[in-house]
């Protein structure tokens, strides 16, 4: 399964549970999968966006 397909499957599952996944979320997921950033770095980025 490709990285893109794995992300799409996870997003569809998340949306079925009633959550919204933004384009920004998708980009962060791809960066994590491609090991461009760590999960910790992504979480810090998400958390900082809610503080500002």
- Count the neighbouring beta carbons within 10 Å of the beta carbon of residue 29: 19
pLDDT at 52: 62
* Local confidence band at 42 (pLDDT 50, 70, 90 cut-offs): very high
Q: Cα 34–25–6 angle (5° rounding)?
A: 50
pTM confidence score: 0.72
CB 13 within 8 A of CB 44: no
Q: What is the pLDDT of residues 1-40, one digit of tens each?
A: 888 898 889 899 999 999 999 999 889 998 999 999 999 9
Tally the domains of the chain.
1
CB 42 within 8 A of CB 28: yes
Task: Take residue 41 and report the two structure tokens written for it.
Answer: 């770095």
Range of the domain at 19: 3-51
Is 41 a residue whose pLDDT tops 90? yes
List phi, psi (to 5°) of 19. -100, 150
* Local confidence band at 50 (pLDDT 50, 70, 90 cut-offs): confident
């Amino acid at each position: 399964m490709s990285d893109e397909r794995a992300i799409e499957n996870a997003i569809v599952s998340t949306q079925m549970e009633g959550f919204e996944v933004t384009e920004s979320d998708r980009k962060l997921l791809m960066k994590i999968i491609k090991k461009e950033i760590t999960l910790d770095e992504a979480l810090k980025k998400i958390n900082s966006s809610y503080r500002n």
